Amino acid sequence: MLKGIDPILGGALLHLLDDMGHGDQLLVVDRNFPAASTGLPVVRVGEATMSRVIGALLGVFPLDEFVDTPLERMEVDGDPAVTTAEQDAVLDIARAAHPKPLEWGVIPRLDFYERARGAFAVVHVLDPAPWGCFVLQKGVVFDE
């Protein structure tokens, strides 16, 4: 147990996040996503809401400030304007953690599977909410 770090971020996940560099992309996906078939390292965090997991991640993981959309989501049912309640909650959490204005990048569902192959790793969350698939691009940790 570590002080000040959400216990949902276990040692394997913290190690993986520490190994990532600026610009590396992390997939955070729901229980329906075929995480193992990506061929990437997969860390499973168990049953939790996506907003809790991403909130914990963003407590230690800076989003990239040098790109327009360091947070992307899977498109809902072929309509880029539609979001789910859980996606909205994730965006609110990310906006609170990011020093710049933040809007979604939206990836069509089939394109998301293709993009997944180029990511650094996958965080697999047993969240039952549909369309809970995200890409987070790691930023730089500046001296504070």
Q: Which residues are catalytically annotated? A: 22
Q: Are 97 and 6 in contact (CB under 8 A)?
A: no
Cα gap 144→121, rounded to integer Å? 27
Cα gap 73→52, rounded to integer Å? 16
Residue type, 80: P
**59-to-9, 27, 33, 53, 104 alpha-carbon distances in Å:** 10, 16, 24, 10, 19
